[in-house]
Amino acid sequence: MFRDRSILITGGTGSFGRVLTRNLLRNQAPRRLVIFSRDELKQYEMRAEFGDDPRLRFFIGDVRDRERLARAFNGIDTVVHAAALKQVPAAEYNPFEAIKTNVFGAENVINAAIDCGVERVIALSTDKAANPINLYGATKLCSDKLFVAGNSYAGGDGTRFAVVRYGNVVGSRGSVVPFFRQQREIGEIPITDPRMTRFWITLEQGVLFVLKSFERMRGGEIFVPKIPSMRVLDLAQAIAPDCETVEVGIRPGEKLHETLIGEDDARRTLEFEDHYVLVPEFPWWNDEARGGRPLPDGFSYRSDNNEWWLGVEELRRMAEKL
């Protein structure tokens, strides 16, 4: 569905954007692929990585700047919105900056997409948007609701918006795997809490799920993949089995377990073979025509009540590939 299409990725120089770019150029044959980001150094490095592919364009800009977005969205068919301020401590210390990028930036993307006639937009969300306890999660919850509501603003035949929500991406910049590898050289692995669990998804898996969601979307959905859980203590043992672990306590704004679907959201969620869909409350969104199974009362999808777990050996094999 991306053949001969013009695609734009906001925050395209990030870890996700680079893997998505590689996949699109190799497998999808787009007519034009625009990388929209505010960091000229990362754009320079990315240009060197991908060479002089004539389909690849670089556009310096910030999602806070609506006029710049409108210029960049001209002639674009598909948008992946990956730009965000994502560091929890930074968002707690700079709350207004997080709101400007994650909330007002989302509004700008929605308005620019509608005004420029973009056909489909998928925004990346996070587990922290489900029952948020920190500012980053709260801003992403606001963003999710804006993108769902954007379908109403666009009208029946206008731009379609959807959201993809998953947990921490292992192997991305700032993730726990490279941190544990760095600490391995010191001989000591800090663990916030030995009970802590997390969902596991790689960059490649996240990219493939986003691309598949473009095929599935009709507008207003929040797509959640079925992915395995891991114990952070098992991951430390897999990466640094000979190192001592030191419990340092949970950091401000951090959860003991991740939540992708809370009990309240589960009442309007459908289950499919490899994913869940939080359905929008639109009169034109027909549940029966879409398929899927309603979830039972009291259901929640958390990293500690997941049925799919990765052991130490599986984690070691997967971590070696990152």
User: Within a domain: residue 150?
Assistant: yes
Q: Residue 163 and residue 214: Cα distance in Å, rounded?
A: 10
Furthest CA-CA distance within the chain:
59
pLDDT in tens, 211-233: 999 999 999 999 999 999 999 99
Number of helices and strands in the chain (H, E): 13, 18
The DSSP code sequence of 111-166 is: HHHHHHT--EEEEE--GGGSS--SHHHHHHHHHHHHHHHHHHHH-TTS-EEEEE--
Residues designated catalytic: 128
User: Residue 133 half-sphere exposure, CB side, CA atoms within 13 Å?
Assistant: 9
User: Within a domain: residue 214?
Assistant: yes
User: Within a domain: residue 197?
Assistant: no
User: Which residue range(s) make up the domain with 266?
Assistant: 6-166+203-226+259-295
The answer to whether the beta carbons of residues 112 and 127 sit under 8 Å apart is no
pLDDT in tens, 100-144: 999 999 999 999 999 999 999 999 999 999 999 999 999 999 999
Does 267 score more than 70 pLDDT?
yes
User: Within a domain: residue 182?
Assistant: no
- What is the predicted pLDDT for the residue at 234? 94
User: Within a domain: residue 85?
Assistant: yes
User: Within a domain: residue 303?
Assistant: no
Q: Looking at residues 172-201, what average pLDDT do you find? A: 87
How many structural domains is the chain composed of?
A: 1
Does 252 score more than 90 pLDDT?
no
User: Within a domain: residue 104?
Assistant: yes
Closest CA to 73 of 110, 44, 104: 110
Q: Residue 152 and residue 145: Cα distance in Å, rounded?
A: 12
pLDDT in tens, 2-41: 999 999 999 999 999 999 999 999 999 999 999 999 999 9
Mean pLDDT, the chain, integer: 93
CATH of the domain at 150: 3.40.50.720
User: Within a domain: residue 301?
Assistant: no
